[in-house]
Amino acid sequence: MPRDTRYDVLFEPIKIGPVTARNRFYQVPHCNGMGFNWPQTHAKMREAKAEGGWAVICTEECMIHPTSDYTPEPQARLWDDYDEKCLGLMVEAVHRHGALAGVQLAHNGVGAQNLYTRLPPIGPSHQASVDNQPTHTRGMSKKDIREFRRWHRNAALRAKHADADIIYVYAGHDSTLLMHFLSSRRNQRSDEYGGSLENRVRLLREVLEETRDAVGDRCAVAIRMAVDELLGPEGITSAGEGREIIEMLAELPDLWDVNLSSWENDSQTSRFSDEGFQEQYVAFVKKMTSKPVVGVGRFTSPDAMVSQINRGVLDMIGAARPSIADPFLPMKIEQGREDEIRECIGCNTCVSGQLTFTPMRCTQNPSVGEEWRRGWHPEFIAPKGSDDSFLVVGAGPAGLEAARALGQRGYPVTLAEAQTEPGGRVSLESSLPGLAAWARVRDWRMGRIQQMENVEVYFDNALSAEDILALDYKHVILATGASWRDDGTGVTNWQAIPGADQNHVVTPADIFSGTQLAGPVVVFDDDRYYMGALIAEKLKLEGHDITLLTPSTEVSPWTENTMEQHRIQARIMDLGIKVVTSHNITRIGVDTVETSCVYTEQPGSLAAASLVLVTSRIPNDEIYLKLSEDPDLLAESGIASVTAIGDSLCPSTIAAAVYEGHRVAREMDAPPENPDLPFRREIIQLEN
């Protein structure tokens, strides 16, 4: 199908200094949880994007020297020849598909605790370190500044030697040394590198000029600059010093990559921001420089992308998360298949990989991180290995992905759903405040399934074990989901809470079904992810008097890994929801809950005409257990396999459910050679 001519502008080549990008799609630097630990995994992940049509593929932060050690987070490094070889793997991989390779050189200054190297952290001034570490940062001397400039130049030369095309000078987030020098909050120097803005910009200018001198004959030099910290007068703003810095350095780099600081502002979740939300902060940059400008905004709509270019906001469409959700996004637009784009839902599950020190994962794209170790391609799956038929029971995220992937392989598939619509938990949760984009998990898969003649879907079709045995299918995949526990068992309470069997005690399932509550309402969150706070927010917006009670020290603590905990807690407090942390429920009364401090065991009580227990879930595995207990009966019915997937096997995230549905579909007729180790391990070769 020819591409829509409205999108032609997206495929114009863009000159960036001495190199040329084949189109305007630019994968900006982003973390991935692979870094120096798994260089082949990293290279293969980036290669998928180059194959999918992205013109520029960049690394994550690439640490230039052991004084910038980000352990335990697995970032990239360019400390020595070994690291150069690792970078070369990625560069070679993206070059195979005609893309440019960019390297984001970084030194994290105050943000680098050097836990592995045990070198003293350095920064513009003496100050306490960050991340609750019992250390301090040493203020840099003039000699230290000269050394830093040398380290950066050497790293740029290593990147050039690895055949990279674009070399970054990085002042993009408040975790970087160059940003610390720019910041009047971090930089308390009184010499020529501190005080006035011109002095605070001095080091950035010197590094930029020296990088151009070192590699500018062949490599483009980009600068990543945070033009606003969202701190008002206390920080850099797009109306103040951010604008002045751009004006001072306007023509020095070959490309401006502009964003917000810090990372949690730059990569806001869809719960708190819309597509293109950064425009109001970065739109001025293109008016102040003749060099190409790239920016981000969680862009998934080609119309929004074209609008950014035609209105003179950006020259290139930057993306991190959308390029993860769909590495083939540019190619789909180019081929007139924009309806097939697997749109990012803005959940930041990808970020959680980095912050839990594990390879990245994605709710929408189950293949990410598996390109090397399992050999998964984001678009292609091996064709079917037989003519076997499949019955998938349950059209939640796991069942939809299993049916879609099996259908893509060419198998005849029947998808049976007990409810009158698809989506399962996705349909329920996307109705909560701020989660509308999550419905894309359902909608993309249903859109693909509806194009497949070999996949039939039946709604309002509840099946029992006996029904399944009477049907004529070779393989049965059960994706029957999970149910919220109504007894309070969860992370803290390993047994039922006394009094949980009363009528005024409900679960999120009751809230979704429209159960009417009397007030005041206590929401007890021992799930510790997003659900407790969202239920509290929903009920508050409906007019209830709400108290959010949790044994944790803060609201929704696991969302620290999706970089939205502070926004969630602020939203709860701004709504006037009372928050009680570090307290557990010991007993549920008729109109009160008895509590106990998790530290002191000091007793207390809260008025509660209704109590919502958001604690844990149990698999809906009754059908699976019944079918699995009698292999002979299965054989008599012609069923070769029964498999439980997703929450019906082990309740977890939506991303985990999608992953399991995808994995089972790929491996149904091609199981791993070694089931005890079903993927390749990337191991550094030991020296003799």
Enzyme catalytic residues: 31, 170, 173, 266
Contact 489, 403 (CB under 8 A): no
Torsion 198-203-208-214 (CA) sign: positive
Strands (E), 124-172: 127-128, 136-139, 166-171
Rounded distance between C-alpha atoms, residue 565 and residue 264, angstroms: 10
Tokens 């081929």 locate to: 335
Rounded distance between C-alpha atoms, residue 132 and residue 489, angstroms: 32
Q: How many helices (H) and strands (E) does the chain have?
A: 22, 29
Residue type, 626: K
- For every residue of 187-221, which 3-state class applies, written as one string? CCCCCCCCCCHHHHHHHHHHHHHHHHHHHCCCCEE
Contact 34, 74 (CB under 8 A): yes
Contact 304, 275 (CB under 8 A): yes
Contact 424, 395 (CB under 8 A): yes
Tokens 């079918």 locate to: 627
661: nearest Cα among 676, 675, 648: 648
Name the H helices within 542-645: 565-574, 622-628, 631-636
Torsion 653-655-658-661 (CA) sign: negative
Token pair for 341: 């784009």
End-to-end CA distance of the chain: 56
520: nearest Cα among 593, 629, 441, 608: 608
396: nearest Cα among 663, 625, 653: 653
Token pair for 675: 């089931």
Torsion 530-533-539-541 (CA) sign: negative
